[in-house]
A and B are shown apart, each in its own frame.
Chain A
C-alpha cells in the first residue's frame, strides 16, 4: 500500500480535533455570554456606576455599604434563609413520600398513571403559578378569604401578602402541596434503582414499612436527595421572580431577598455598581453552600464505598 493516500491524522486524531472545534464554538459562546458578563459584573462592583453616566472607581465602598450600612441586608438574608430552608424541607420530604407511595403501588399501570398526573403540572410556567396564587388564592376576594368567609371566620380574612405578619409565610406556602413532578420523578428513579437483593435482604431481616423507608430507601436515594438539595439551595439564593410578582419584597421589606434587592438597585434605582456587589456576594454564598454540601453530605456511591 502506498503511503501517499494515508491521511495526515488518523481517525482518532481527526475525531478529537472535530470535538475540540465543536467545543471551541460552545466555549466561545459560553465565554461571551456567561464568563465575560460575570467578570464584568465583578469589576463593576468596585465602581459607582449608573447606566448612561460615567462610572467612578470607589474600591470596596459598595461592599462596605452592603455589609455594614444597608439596613436591608440582614433582613433580606434572613428571609432568604427562611425561604430556602423551608423549600429544602418540603422538597426533600413531600415529593419523596409521594414517590415512595407511587413506587409501592403493585400495578404498573397505576404507577404510570400517578407518575403522569404528578408530572403534568410541570408544564405550567412558574410565573403562571405565582399569578394564580396572587390572583386566585391570596386575593381579597380569592379562594382563601372566601373560604374563611363561608366558614364564618371573617376575622381571619386579610390581605395575606400585604399583611406584615403573614406575608413571608404566605410566600413560603406558594406551591402547596409542594409535590413537584420533577422531584417526584427523580426520587422515583432512585427508588426504582435500589437492587432487588437489598430489598429482599431487608425483608428477611424483618425490616419493613417505615423502618425500611428510613433505613434502606433514604440511604439508597441519597444521591438524589443531594442533587435536589443543591438545586433547591441554588434556586433559593438566586431566585426572586416569584417574590417580584407576588409582593415586590413588601410589605416594607418583610419579604425582601438579596436577589430582588439586587434587581431593584440595578434597574429601578440605577445603582449598577451596588447591584453588582450584591450579585458577587450571592455568588460566594452559593459557592460556599455548595462546597459545604459536597463535603459533608455523602451520596449513595460514597456511602457504598465507605460501607
Chain B
C-alpha cells in the first residue's frame, strides 16, 4: 500500500510543472490537441514583479491568450524551470523538456550533435504567416521571418558551429557601468575617457571611503577577460585571424573561433610565451583592487542603491531596478568601459572597447516539440510551437512583451527602444568582441578558469602559479575539443603561412 501510494504521488501529471504567477491560458482544457510548454524566462514571466517593483507582468500572458484564441485546439503553459544545466540535461535526454526553452545558445552548441534541439533555419527562411496574412509585401517578415530581426548580424551570428540556427534571439542585452552622479560630483570626477583615467578615478573614490566598483567573479571571468583580451589582441588580428566565417563574419568581424584558438595555442599563443596573454590577467588584478571585497557576494545592487558604492557593472536589466525605485536618493547615469591607451599597455590597440552583450533572451525548441511523430519534417505539433514563436514576433505582440517595462532591447523592426535603455542600444552599435572565452571550450574549462581567476584575484595564488594552471587548463580544453571535433589543420596551416609577412611586422608575438 505504501509503495502504491508513493507511486501514485510520484506519478507525473499533465501540466505538473511548477507554474509561477498567473495562468496564461484560457480554458481550452481537456479538448486541447496541443499543450505547449513554454519557458519564457524570468524577464517575461507573467505574475512576477521584476526586482519586486511595480505591477505584476501581464504582457506575455496576454499575447499567449490571443494565440490560444486563434488556435482553440492549443493550450500554452508558461512555466518556470530551474535555470541549471543539471535540469536541462536530465529533461532533454529523457525527452521531457519543455517545448520552448530559454538557454544561452552557446550552451546548446555543446549538445547539438545529440538531437536534443530542433534547427530553426527552415522556418526562419520562410515567411512569418502572421505577417503575410496582413497582405503588405513591404512588411519585414512577409518574405522571410529572418527579415523581422533588427540586429541581423547578432541574430544570424548565433548560428552554431554546424552553421544551423538553434535559437531565436528574442531580444538584446548589453552591459554598462551604472554610476552614482552625486558621488562623482562630490569626489570631483567625471565618467572616464580611458582605462587609466578610470583607475585614477577609482583611487579617489576609494580614498573618499566608497567602494569604487561593484562586480562579481563571473563578470570578471566572462566580460572583463574578453574586453581586455580584445584591447590587447585587436591590433594583431589581421595576422592571426585565419578563418573568415561566411555566415557570421558581418557581425563577428575577425572573431577567433575555437579551431583558430586551438591552432594558435599550438603556436605558443595563450601560454607563458605570449606576453599579451600574460599581461591580460594583471589588468584584471589591477581592476580588482577597486572592487567589492567579496567577489561571490550576491547583493551588489544593495551596496549601490544605499550609496556605499559609486559604480556597478551590470547589464541592461538593472535599469528597471533604478527607474522603478521611488526611494532612490541620487542621480545615476551609464557609461561604457573605457579604452586602453599606450599608457595602459604597449599592446593597447587604442580602439574603443568592443561589446560583449548581444542576444539576451534566446529561445530554443526542444525535441519534445515533435513528440507526436518524432520527425520534425512531419510533426504538426512542432509547427504549432513554431507558430507561437512567430506570433510573438509580430511587432504589436512583441512590444507588449518586451516593452512592458524597461529592461531588454527590442530585436524586432518597428518596435521602439524605450528611452531609458537607449544608452545600451548605443553601446550595442560597437563591434563585437574578438572572442568569447567562456563560450569557446567545454564547461569544465570555464569552471576551472573561474576558480583559478578567483584565487588569483583574491591573492590565493600568485601570477606565475595562475599562469601555469591557466595554460594547463587551455591545453586540456584544446585537446578535448580537438578529440571531439577534428580540425582541418592543413587549411589553417596554409593560411598561417600566407599571413606570415603580416606578422613579421608585429610586436610581442610568441616565438614561432
Contacts and interface: CB of A to CB of B under 8 A. Distances in A.
Contacts of A264: 447
Given A140-B293, A157-B293, A269-B447, A164 B458 contact: yes
A52 B299 contact: no
Contacts of A173: none
B470 to A, nearest CB: 12
Interface in A256-288: 264, 267-271
Interface stretch (B43-51, B86-94, B129-137): B86-94
B interface, size bucket: 20 to 34
Interface residues of A, number: 29
Main secondary structure of the interface of B (DSSP, over half): helix
Contact of A268 (B86, B293, B451): B86
Given A51-B89, A251-B451, A251-B460, A269 B297 contact: no
A53 B93 CA distance: 9
Interface SS of A by simple majority:
loop
B413 interface: no
B296 A252 contact: no
A163 interface: yes
A251 B114 contact: no
B454 A162 contact: yes
A178 to B, nearest CB: 25
Contacts of B447: 264, 268-269
A159 B460 contact: no
Contacts of B455: 164, 251-252, 254
A158 interface: yes
A25 B299 contact: no
B328 interface: no
A114 interface: no
B459 interface: yes
A219 interface: no
B256 interface: no
A252 B444 contact: no
B451 A250 contact: yes
A161 interface: yes
A94 B195 CA distance: 55
A162 B296 contact: yes
Contact of A52 (B111, B292, B303): B111
A252 B303 CA distance: 25
B442 A269 contact: yes
Interface of B: 3, 85-86, 89-90, 92-93, 110-111, 113-114, 116, 292-297, 299, 302-303, 442-444, 447, 451-452, 454-455, 458-461
16 contacts: A25-B3, A29-B3, A51-B93, A52-B89, A52-B92, A158-B294, A159-B294, A162-B297, A164-B455, A164-B460, A250-B451, A251-B455, A252-B461, A269-B442, A269-B444, A270-B110
Interface of A: 25, 29, 51-53, 139-141, 157-159, 161-165, 247, 249-254, 264, 267-271
Given A25-B3, A157-B293, A253-B451, 9 more contacts: A52-B92, A52-B93, A139-B297, A159-B293, A162-B458, A164-B460, A250-B296, A267-B86, A270-B110
The 10 closest A-B pairs by CB, nearest first: A159-B294, A164-B460, A252-B455, A52-B114, A267-B86, A162-B296, A269-B444, A252-B451, A251-B454, A52-B93
